[in-house]
Structure 1
Amino acid sequence: MRKGIWIGAVALAAGMAAWSAAAGPVPSETAAAQLYPVKPAAVTLTKSAAVPAADRALLEQALKDVTYYAAVAVSPTEGIRGPSAAVAANFHDIDNARRAAMRICGEKRAANARPCEVVAEVRPAGWEKGRLQLSAAATEAFADKYRSVRRAKALAVSPSTGSWGIGKGGDAATRALADCARLGAAGPLVDCIVVIAD
């Protein structure tokens, strides 16, 4: 899957900061040294009262196979079993996963419910701020597809959605941006940037 997964109204029972357009792309050797393994991922629960002690183990269990970077947001009024419970997964950094989960939860919560809050996050095991970050899906594609290309190549990502694309050949960067942009669920994406190029 090449895009972030947005799941709204989910019953859970059943740094991108390191990148900026100004920083420019890094070569694959740098990326390989900084990216995290696809597994294992680490689930962190916040100390929010929105998840009672009785539901904490349930939430951790529900997130054990969710791909990084991911966040869960709920309204404390409705809880993790309520209609506002939202998971945003497979993003390129935790901040954008948090924003997506909060937006989905906010759209789903009842008018009289308390504001949403992030109650859990999924990051790569050993996560450190400031390292190059890709979603688990894009990290896997980098290892399995990108690195085997023996000509000019580029990998682009959409920070706000988790989409990504690979381009090859003399216009690799342009192709990567186009591949990333066309994968937007709601039409072409405008925030794709090239983060790895060779």
Structure 2
Amino acid sequence: MRSTALAILTASSLAVAGLATAVTAQPIDGAAAEGMLFGADTARVAVNPRAALSEEDEQMLRLLVESNEFTYYGAIAFAPGDGIVSPSLQGAFNYHDVDTASRTALTACEAARSPDADACILALQLFPSGYAPRAFQLSQDATRAFGAMRDTGGEQAFAVSTTTGAFGAGTGQGADLKALSACQQTEGATDCAVVVKD
């Protein structure tokens, strides 16, 4: 991994202020949430045409994403003056929306780029297959956990941190408190909120 100079930031690795697309003012019910989520099995890569990547660089990044099974929502940023194979190549994956993943990758890139290099730009973003903007979104891992929770029946709650990508599920009596507690166990997850409750 270090040979590509890509520092991978999972959703819990770096907290930045972000758009709260996964959090609603009031929790929604499980059926409504389920209807808005994308499948958790496949993801697609969207290359930024403004990055002007060579065919070789684009192929390398796609291969890197696919071989490491990075999860949506994700992004990779780099400083063009430093090149793709440099410390400025930074990735952030498994967030609840692509905007937060993108900001996280760009922030990490800015911290790692050479002082004389141009500002960082996005090289690519990772979305669920069939992506279209929706009012409720979860990361790929959170989508899987949500599906497993829905299979249990009974009282259910799901909590997320929009800035870190953390999440937690709770079932049975006190499901909402269990979900919050599970979410808050992720380092840096100080903004956990219950987003789904049945």
What TM-score results when the alignment is normalised by the length of structure 1? 0.84
Match of 1:108 among 112, 134, 150: 112
User: Measured at CA, do residues 17 and 162 of structure 1 come closer, stay the same or move farther in structure 2, by a change above 3 Å?
Assistant: closer
Match of 1:149 among 152, 169, 175: 152
| Equivalences for residues 177-188 of structure 1 within 5 A | 177-184=180-187, 186=188
Task: Please state if 1:74 is matched with 2:74.
Answer: no
Aligned AA (1:4): A
Shift of the alpha carbon at 1:42?
0.8
Equivalent position SS for 2:108: helix
| Equivalences for residues 109-148 of structure 1 within 5 A | 109-144=113-148, 146-148=149-151
Structure 1 gaps of 5+ residues are 8-15
Shift of the alpha carbon at 1:177?
1.3
Match of 2:43 among 41, 44, 48: 41
CA offsets per residue over residues 103-156 of structure 1, 9 Å max, x none? 111111121221111110000011011242111101111112x11333322110
- Cα root mean square deviation, aligned: 2.0
Shift of the alpha carbon at 1:21?
4.2
User: Measured at CA, do residues 18 and 183 of structure 1 come closer, stay the same or move farther in structure 2, by a change above 3 Å?
Assistant: closer
Equivalent position SS for 1:63: helix
Conservation of the 8 A alpha-carbon contact between 1:86 and 1:105: yes
CA offsets per residue over residues 39-90 of structure 1, 9 Å max, x none? 2211000013453333112212222232100000101111221101011001
Shift of the alpha carbon at 1:167?
1.9
Task: Please state if 1:92 is matched with 2:80.
Answer: no
User: Measured at CA, do residues 136 and 49 of structure 1 come closer, stay the same or move farther in structure 2, by a change above 3 Å?
Assistant: closer
What TM-score results when the alignment is normalised by the length of structure 2? 0.84
Structure 2 gaps of 5+ residues are 1-9
User: Within 2, Cα distance between the matches of 1:5 and 1:193?
Assistant: 15
Conservation of the 8 A alpha-carbon contact between 1:43 and 1:123: yes
Q: Which residue is 1:195 aligned to?
A: 195
Aligned AA (1:33): G
